[in-house]
């Protein structure tokens, strides 16, 4: 009953004209960002965040959520039509989507992606509605040791889901933690690593850092390695968008499987939408009766990863809202937004800000419907956007990043710092140091430090507090296993013997 | 790339050692519990440890994996120089004119667009910044010598 009341309250907020407008704007922007290679959802949210100081937080967060799940829809268009993923989460869609397009079924590929994403998105919101409040209630039992355990586990899971080089993932996390300690210590008031510079007393502002790491760094990397593809110049009619009966039969279970895999991956801290689409594709190929068709235009190879990335983009809000732990770079940037508006996501958010939480959740039903319609009727418009020269797009990113950095404290020091972080992000990407762990550590650094200090203060300096409370010990064990996962994988490989390539 | 990777590893190592040095000057444990130097010290120790493992791994590997500088890296440097020049000029020219100029120069020297198109874009962006940020979003952006 409570659920229905809350949902009714949510819709009464999200269905106001202004919030529908923000939802529409978010979906449209997300769709554009998804279409344009070289700019991702975290960049878009990071660049727009400083411009929303004066907007109502609920409206702003509805818009940012629209960007997040809109990107998952938009990236599909380039994956199918030019074999270039607009977003990392649509990499798997290229494999079969582009092959379908070459066979003259581009319309069906785009259609199944849109319908699959919509079904997955709607189911995921329905599950989120029940799951997130339950998770928040459970998290009310958390004390400092549990919160430290949660942060420790999140950092560890990055090693599992992270890049090919686990050591670089861990170093990236540690650098993020170190940067997060810069500034005045909240307990003693002592300056740390400020080197006498008063501008650093408050630490580096998160918005300044992400504008550089995501905005500028992405520009430098895109200039160096432009993603170019050949647009399929086939005229698409409305009837080409309809699926045949055989295509629908083949894709319906794939959509459901993708939804479940996506939802579960999304709620794991550090899981993310890209991992969800990879896992869904691999699972679909494994259960298929015709695995040999994958990579040659199998419609299930489009339906499942598309459903998964959308479900994950919705379920990623569960740990953010209920625990205050972001599961992906975009939700990490959104967490910074919450803090900017003076809101602390976590177990109490459902009680202190029910209008924001339920307004946001209900807006996802509306957003998914808007995106379904956009993806059926506005595809030619988004294809046209692909023709915008990258030089112009690049100018806009630099301008938005600079204005964003400046508006934080109205000083030029932040603008220069943003440039510094841009160069840092560029070099890190070139040397294969993943950016996501750095960003998550920047966001969770304070939580991790405050929790460990509070826990050790309570226990009188004894680390046993982390191993005597059941939830905390569970998180710590999962975290340790996650950190050790590369060693475990290496050991298993040794037991099984070397892989023999069969050509 | 191996050399670049190695240099990267050494920089991380220096960062770790510096973190240990500076955090050891902070209070490690106070009467209320862990002090301000507690976490940074451990983070510094971990960075140093992992950097040593990383450097050891890089030295052990012998495969060549791509070059650090690519054919289009020069374009990136060009943009960096234009950005740095713009940031130096921003306090004098103001955001509208400064970024208008930035857009025009970037389009000319990186996009190879015609002067006319670049000029038009520069003016359009200057006016756009003025009205979108200054008026519509009410963001107080610094004005330059021209009062814009």
Hey, are the CB atoms on B76 and A399 less than 8 Å from each other? no
User: How far apart (Å, rounded) are the C-alpha atoms in residues B145 and B148?
Assistant: 7
Place of tokens 């003259």: A104
User: How far apart (Å, rounded) are the C-alpha atoms in residues A3 and A9?
Assistant: 10
Q: What is the rounded average pLDDT of the residues B91-112?
A: 90
Residue pLDDT, tens place only, B67-89: 778 888 888 899 999 999 999 99
Where chain A has pLDDT below 70, the residues are 1, 38, 162-163, 227-238, 270-271, 495-503
Residue A234 has a pLDDT of 59
The three-state secondary structure class of B30 is strand
DSSP letter at A469?
S
Beta bridge partners of A192: A183
DSSP letter at A89?
G
Residue A30 or residue B134, greater confidence: A30
The three-state secondary structure class of B129 is helix
Q: What is the rounded average pLDDT of the residues B24-28?
A: 91
Question: Chain B 36-65, CB below 8 Å of chain A: which residues?
Answer: 36-40, 43-44, 46-47, 50-51, 53-54, 57
Buried/exposed A372-396: b ≥16 CB within 10 Å, e otherwise: bebbeeebeebbeebeeebbebbbb
Chosen for mutation from B61, B77, B79, B105 (greatest number of chain A CBs closer than 10 Å) is B79
Q: What's the 3-state SS for A164-178?
A: CCHHHHHHHHHHHHH
Place of tokens 């307990």: A187
Hey, are the CB atoms on B95 and A51 less than 8 Å from each other? no
Residue A2 has a pLDDT of 78
Where are the strands (E) in A201-359, listed by range?
Answer: none
Residue among B39, B53, B68 whose CB faces A430 most closely: B68
B111 touches A: beta carbon within 8 Å: yes
Query: Using CA of residue A363, residue A364, residue A369, residue A370, what is the dihedral sign?
Result: positive
Residue pLDDT, tens place only, A115-156: 898 899 889 988 988 888 888 888 888 889 999 999 999 888
Hey, are the CB atoms on B4 and A193 less than 8 Å from each other? no
Establish if A503 belongs to a structural domain: no
A22 to A18, A64, A278, A333, A366: CA distances (angstroms): 6, 9, 31, 18, 11
The upper half-sphere exposure of residue A379, i.e. CA atoms within 13 Å in the direction of its Cβ, equals: 26
Establish if A236 belongs to a structural domain: yes
Q: How many domains does chain A have?
A: 1
* ∠ CA B47-B50-B56, rounded to 5°: 135
Residue A503 has a pLDDT of 35
Query: Using CA of residue B128, residue B133, residue B138, residue B142, what is the dihedral sign?
Result: negative
Residue A497 has a pLDDT of 58
User: How far apart (Å, rounded) are the C-alpha atoms in residues A367 and A310?
Assistant: 12
User: How far apart (Å, rounded) are the C-alpha atoms in residues B56 and A344?
Assistant: 42
User: How far apart (Å, rounded) are the C-alpha atoms in residues B78 and A10?
Assistant: 49
Q: Which of A185, A136, A135, A69 is nearest to A348 (CA)?
A: A136
Establish if A501 belongs to a structural domain: no
Hey, are the CB atoms on A193 and B22 less than 8 Å from each other? yes
Hey, are the CB atoms on B54 and A192 less than 8 Å from each other? no
User: How far apart (Å, rounded) are the C-alpha atoms in residues B92 and B77?
Assistant: 24
> Do residues A445 and A180 touch, judged by C-beta distance below 8 A?
yes
Statement: residue B4 has pLDDT above 50: yes
User: How far apart (Å, rounded) are the C-alpha atoms in residues A263 and A49?
Assistant: 26
User: How far apart (Å, rounded) are the C-alpha atoms in residues A321 and A335?
Assistant: 9
Q: H-helix or E-strand containing A350?
A: helix A349-352
> Do residues A359 and A13 touch, judged by C-beta distance below 8 A?
yes
User: How far apart (Å, rounded) are the C-alpha atoms in residues A292 and A288?
Assistant: 9
User: How far apart (Å, rounded) are the C-alpha atoms in residues A318 and A346?
Assistant: 10
- Token pair, residue A23, equals 């939802």
Query: Using CA of residue A44, residue A40, residue B114, residue B77, what is the dihedral sign?
Result: positive
Residue A500 has a pLDDT of 46
Q: How many other C-beta atoms lie within 10 A of the C-beta of residue A488? A: 11
Residues 6 or more apart whose CB falls under 8 angstroms from that of A29 comprise A44, A48, A63, A66, A67, A70
Task: Please provide the size of chain B in residues.
Answer: 148
Establish if A498 belongs to a structural domain: no
Residue B113 or residue A87, greater confidence: B113
Residue B38 has a pLDDT of 93
A457 touches B: beta carbon within 8 Å: yes
Q: Taking CA atoms, what residue in B is nearest to A225?
A: B72
- Give CA torsion, residues A377, A378, A379, A384, to 10 deg: 150
- Token pair, residue A180, equals 């997060």
Number of residue pairs across A and B with CB atoms under 8 Å?
150
Q: Domain span at residue A269?
A: 2-493
- Give CA torsion, residues A310, A316, A317, A322, to 10 deg: 150
User: How far apart (Å, rounded) are the C-alpha atoms in residues A450 and A202?
Assistant: 16
Domain boundaries, chain B: 2-60, 73-136
User: How far apart (Å, rounded) are the C-alpha atoms in residues A214 and A397?
Assistant: 10
Task: Please provide the size of chain A in residues.
Answer: 503
Helix, strand, coil share of chain A (percent; to 5): 75, 0, 25
User: How far apart (Å, rounded) are the C-alpha atoms in residues A92 and A85?
Assistant: 8
Place of tokens 């050494």: B10
Statement: residue B92 has pLDDT above 80: yes
Residue A231 has a pLDDT of 60
> Do residues A392 and B102 touch, judged by C-beta distance below 8 A?
no
Q: Which of B52, B66, B137 is nearest to B95 (CA)?
A: B137
Hey, are the CB atoms on A181 and B26 less than 8 Å from each other? no
Hey, are the CB atoms on B99 and A174 less than 8 Å from each other? no
Residue among B47, B87, B91 whose CB faces A419 most closely: B87
Helix, strand, coil share of chain B (percent; to 5): 70, 5, 25
User: How far apart (Å, rounded) are the C-alpha atoms in residues A409 and A206?
Assistant: 12
Helices (H), A83-211: 91-102, 106-139, 144-161, 166-180, 206-210
Establish if A500 belongs to a structural domain: no
Place of tokens 């990397």: A221
Q: Which of A116, A308, A262 is nearest to A108 (CA)?
A: A116
Q: Taking CA atoms, what residue in B is nearest to A188?
A: B36
């Amino acid at each position: 009953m409570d659920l229905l009341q809350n949902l009714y309250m949510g819709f009464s907020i999200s269905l106001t004209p202004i919030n529908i407008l923000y939802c529409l704007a978010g979906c449209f922007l997300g769709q554009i960002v998804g279409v344009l290679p070289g700019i991702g959802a975290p960049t878009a949210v990071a660049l727009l965040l400083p411009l929303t100081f004066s907007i109502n937080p609920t409206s702003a967060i509805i818009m940012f959520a629209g960007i997040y799940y809109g990107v998952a829809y938009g990236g599909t268009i380039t994956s199918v039509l030019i074999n270039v993923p607009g977003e990392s989460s649509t990499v798997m869609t290229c494999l079969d989507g582009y092959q379908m397009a070459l066979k003259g079924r581009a319309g069906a590929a785009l259609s199944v992606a849109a319908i699959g994403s919509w079904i997955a998105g709607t189911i995921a919101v329905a599950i989120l509605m029940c799951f997130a409040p339950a998770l928040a209630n459970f998290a009310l039992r958390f004390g400092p040791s549990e919160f430290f355990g949660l942060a420790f586990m999140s950092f560890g899971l990055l090693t599992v889901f992270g890049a090919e080089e686990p050591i670089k993932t861990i170093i990236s996390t540690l650098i993020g933690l170190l940067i997060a300690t810069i500034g005045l210590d909240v307990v003693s008031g002592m300056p740390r690593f400020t080197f006498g510079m008063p501008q650093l007393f408050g630490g580096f502002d998160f918005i300044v850092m992400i504008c550089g790491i995501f905005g500028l760094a992405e520009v430098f990397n895109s200039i160096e390695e432009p993603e170019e593809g050949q647009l399929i110049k086939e005229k698409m009619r409305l009837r080409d968008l309809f699926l045949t009966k055989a295509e629908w039969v083949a894709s319906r279970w794939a959509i459901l499987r993708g939804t479940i895999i996506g939802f579960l991956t999304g709620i794991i801290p550090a899981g993310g939408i890209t991992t969800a689409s990879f896992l869904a594709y691999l699972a679909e190929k494994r259960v298929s009766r015709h695995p040999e068709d994958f990579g040659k235009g199998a419609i299930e190879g489009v339906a499942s990863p598309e459903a998964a990335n959308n479900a994950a983009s919705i379920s990623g809000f569960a740990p953010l809202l209920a625990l205050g732990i972001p599961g992906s770079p975009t939700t990490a940037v959104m967490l910074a937004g919450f803090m900017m508006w003076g809101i602390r996501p976590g177990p109490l958010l459902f009680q202190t800000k029910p209008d924001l939480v339920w307004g946001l959740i209900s807006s996802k039903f509306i957003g998914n419907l808007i995106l379904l319609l956009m993806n059926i009727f506005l595809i030619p418009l988004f294809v046209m956007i692909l023709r915008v020269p990258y030089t112009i797009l690049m100018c806009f990113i630099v301008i938005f990043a600079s204005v964003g950095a400046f508006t934080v404290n109205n000083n030029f020091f932040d603008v220069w710092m943003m440039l510094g972080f841009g160069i840092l992000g560029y070099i890190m990407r070139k040397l294969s140091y993943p950016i996501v762990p750095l960003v998550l550590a920047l966001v969770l650094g304070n939580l991790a430090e405050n929790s460990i200090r509070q826990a050790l203060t309570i226990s009188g300096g004894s680390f046993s507090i982390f191993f005597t409370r059941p939830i905390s010990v569970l998180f710590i064990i999962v975290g340790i296993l996650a950190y050790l996962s590369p060693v475990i994988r290496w050991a298993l490989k040794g037991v099984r013997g070397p892989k023999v390539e069969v050509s | 790339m191996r050399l670049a990777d190695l240099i990267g590893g050494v920089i991380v190592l220096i960062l770790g050692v510096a973190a240990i040095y500076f955090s050891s000057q902070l209070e490690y444990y106070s009467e209320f519990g862990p002090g301000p130097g507690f976490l940074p010290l451990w983070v510094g120790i971990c960075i140093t440890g992992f950097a040593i493992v990383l450097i050891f791994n890089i030295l052990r590997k012998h495969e060549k994996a791509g070059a650090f500088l690519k054919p289009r890296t020069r374009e990136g440097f060009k943009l960096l120089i234009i950005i740095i020049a713009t940031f130096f000029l921003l306090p004098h020219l103001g955001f509208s004119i400064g970024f208008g100029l930035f857009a025009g120069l970037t389009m000319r020297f990186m996009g190879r667009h015609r002067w006319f198109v670049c000029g038009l874009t520069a003016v359009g962006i200057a006016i756009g910044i003025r009205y979108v940020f200054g008026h519509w979003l009410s963001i107080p952006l610094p004005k330059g010598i021209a009062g814009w």
